Structure 1
Amino acid sequence: MECAPVILFVFNRPMHMARTVAALQANELAEQTPLFIFCDGQRNEKEAERVRQVREQAKTVTGFKSVTVVERERNYGLAGSIIDGVGRLCEQYGRVIVVEDDLITSPDFLRYMNQGLDLYADEERVASIHGYAYPVPNDDAPESYFLRGADCWGWATWARAWKHFEPNGAKLLMGLKEKGLAKAFDYGGNAFFLAMLRNQVKGKNQSWAIRWHASAYLDNMLTLYPRQSLVENSGFDDSGVHCSDVDYYAGSLGHAPGKLQKIPVEVNEQMRLRVLGFFAKMRRQRMNDFYKLVFSAGVKRIRKVVGLAAS
């Protein structure tokens, strides 16, 4: 098996990067895998030292077939860095595995990704292979299944699929509405995907992931997911630019099948409904957490006012 290159995007979190690299090094195919580390530039002087630490750390990484460090001369932002980096490696290698600096992968992550890339290389409708699986009941789930669209936590794609990426969020939003796909794209209004895309159009976020998902969804493309998640996100500690300290997606690392079997390229309706249920539950949890936060803030304010009145 000729292993696809891994592209790792890092910025200013040396501890997170160290954990991500260690997990990749523990993969059985690490020594056969070319690794490219794209280091984004600082936004201000306050970040300079941690950006420097990450770059020095990147230069010491071993355990792979080769290690290439790309140091950005300016700050691209995560979206700009990923769009540029994935495009460059797809053009050079025809396929790529994408990892960010807060993702922890299982030891068989690279095997699963490479097998998926090989199995579905010529299936035009398949947009990507995904390592993370939503925390839904999976005892009776197949070893792999397809959902419509694309995803962003430990994924792989081909040059032929990445050509479908549309960077214009307004065009994507209009397309979803014109084709009557907005509600389904947003899992019945539960996933906040439409809100994220609208905010990207308004310049309130720079999410490349929502545009990748919308691009694939509009073109009726699918992504392959594993039964057990092969990726954990360690970034929900409020350390990242785009992550909070609340993790609604938490799960545990599982195992990939020894040999991934090819399945029909069609949406697994059972798993789609389970993921819809996950988003519906998450929406309720987020609303409850919001109300608790508002109530807590209100109580603190009342106590402060009462305390002032008593003094």
Structure 2
Amino acid sequence: MKNSPTAGYHTKSAVLFVVFNRPETTKRVFEAIRIAQPKRLYIVADGPRRDYPGDVEQCKQTRQILSLIDWDCEVKTLLREENAGCKNGVSSAINWFFEQEEEGIILEDDCLPANSFFKFCDTLLEKYRYDTRIRHITGCNLQFGKKWGDASYYFSNRTHVWGWASWRRVWNDYDVNLTKYDGTEVKAQLKNIYNDDFVADAWTNIFNELKAGKINSWAYPLDFCNFFNNGLVIIPNENLVTNIGFKAGATHTVDEESSYANIPLIEIGEITDPVFFVPQKQADLSIINRDFNIEQRRVKHNAWHRKLKRWIKSKLK
């Protein structure tokens, strides 16, 4: 007889757990999954990088989580011998997951969920299963205490991926290389979402760098797929997933002093729904400004423009 994990909410959803070479964070996230006891657990482990000798042992230790599964569940694994990298490794893992599941929860090895995150996802995956307005359910809240409305969640245009859930119907639109889109109309279309030249410019630059292969990200293409399909994202008004992977050596989250590192988890109870199905654009813009320094760019641009006007006036005297 298998031992029963610590009591807590048990999820109805299938869970995909994407891991690599961080046994410490992987173990912590696994313990949260263990409490939720998914009946179907998918584990994808990327292979060691050739130029990093320590990866072999770290990957081996990380994969030992398989021996810790002690509840009744169907386990499917994809254990890579070679390294696929962040962009192709994670996106192909999610492809594999949604080839077998109509919907489910996705966690990476540095995304530590509260137990109520699983109930949040279960409830909303079912509620919005056939509502094509809704494309993404995220667990992290990056508003640092600011609430948007009185409900348990609000709607956004941004697809945060530190713990999330979605449906096959949405992932079918995912295009990791953005092959469907060229750059000729991107800025104009982005301005339909965020009517601000500086914000549209920031996203257009990211789009162009993705197309040029200069950004190794699977998550930004998900943002663009949501933008260009006019989708709504569910974001909880409390933080249900915290990123515990900020440290030197991480792929992207290398700044240990980041304000996004280790945001406290808050458990939630009853889930209440918003009345209006509209994105809280000011919530999005607060994060975009923080991430892309939009206001600083605006100030520099305006200062340059004032100098230019003064120079032109001096030449006209």
**TM bin (shorter chain):** 0.7 to 0.9
Residues 190 and 280 in structure 1, CA contact (< 8 A), matched pair in contact too = no
Unmatched 5+ stretches in structure 1: 288-311
Q: Could you tell me which residue of structure 1 aligns to residue 312 of structure 2? A: none
Render the CA deviation track for 1:12-31: whole Å, top value 9, x for unaligned: 111110111112223xxx22
Q: Could you tell me which residue of structure 1 aligns to residue 28 of structure 2? A: 19
Partner of residue 101 from structure 1, selected from 106, 109, 127: 109
Q: Distance in 2 between matches of 1:156 and 1:265?
A: 21
Q: Could you tell me which residue of structure 2 aligns to residue 177 of structure 1? A: 187
**Alignment TM-score, normalising by the size of structure 2:** 0.78
Q: Aligned residues, how many?
A: 282
Q: Could you tell me which residue of structure 1 aligns to residue 260 of structure 2? A: 249
Q: For 1:1-311, what aligned pairs fall within 5 Å after superposition?
A: 3-26=12-35, 30-44=36-50, 46=53, 47-63=55-71, 65-136=73-144, 137-138=146-147, 141-169=150-178, 171-172=180-181, 174=183, 175-181=185-191, 184=194, 188-189=198-199, 193-245=203-255, 246-250=257-261, 251-258=263-270, 260-263=271-274, 266-269=277-280, 272-284=281-293
Q: CA deviation at 1:264?
A: 5.2
Residues 187 and 204 in structure 2, CA contact (< 8 A), matched pair in contact too = no
Of the structure 1 ranges 274-283 and 219-228, higher mean CA displacement relative to structure 2 is found in 274-283
Q: CA deviation at 1:192?
A: 5.0
Q: Distance in 2 between matches of 1:86 and 1:256?
A: 27
SS at match of 2:37: helix
Q: Distance in 2 between matches of 1:71 and 1:131?
A: 26
Q: Distance in 2 between matches of 1:163 and 1:6?
A: 18
Higher fraction of helix: 1
Distance 1:279 1:33, change over 3 A: same
Distance 1:63 1:138, change over 3 A: farther
Identical aligned residues as a percent: 24
Residues 126 and 265 in structure 1, CA contact (< 8 A), matched pair in contact too = no
Render the CA deviation track for 1:249-279: whole Å, top value 9, x for unaligned: 2432112342x3444572243xx21331243
**Alignment TM-score, normalising by the size of structure 1:** 0.80
Render the CA deviation track for 1:264-309: whole Å, top value 9, x for unaligned: 572243xx2133124324555997xxxxxxxxxxxxxxxxxxxxxx
Render the CA deviation track for 1:31-81: whole Å, top value 9, x for unaligned: 243221100011116121111111233333334633333201321112222
Q: CA deviation at 1:172?
A: 4.1
Q: Distance in 2 between matches of 1:205 and 1:167?
A: 12
Q: CA deviation at 1:3?
A: 1.6
Of the structure 1 ranges 56-65 and 32-41, higher mean CA displacement relative to structure 2 is found in 56-65
Q: Distance in 2 between matches of 1:155 and 1:9?
A: 12
